[in-house]
Amino acid sequence: MKPHLSPRQAEVVRLRSLGCDVTETAAILGISKHTVLQHRAAAMEAFGTHKAALLTRVAIKHGFTSINDKLTLREKRKCGRKDDGWN
């Protein structure tokens, strides 16, 4: 059964699974670092994991992100990255 995440929680999970840290995720979404941490904690609870390392694995399993997903050009510009999270 696929866990229910809010659209913002799903976006935080996607960005975190692409390797963005809390500061980069906050910059991309235009929210505070604390809010990013709250969304991540809620997503981890919904997924039933207490380990941040498992977040990406479970997100891929339930279809919230894929191994082929990449940061958009806009997201790269906002966080100052040149590479995607999987590179």
pLDDT per position as a tens digit, 52-71: 888 888 888 888 888 888 88
Which tens digit of pLDDT belongs to each residue from 2-54? 778 999 999 999 999 888 899 999 999 999 999 999 999 999 999 888 888 88
Q: Confidence band (pLDDT; 50, 70, 90) for 87? A: very low
Question: Residue 42: which residues within 8 A CB-CB, separation 6 or more?
Answer: 5, 6, 9
Q: What pLDDT score does 86 carry? A: 54
Q: What is the pTM of this model?
A: 0.84
Alpha carbon distance 83, 77 (integer Å): 11
Q: Which band of pLDDT confidence, cut at 50, 70 and 90, is reported for residue 85?
A: low
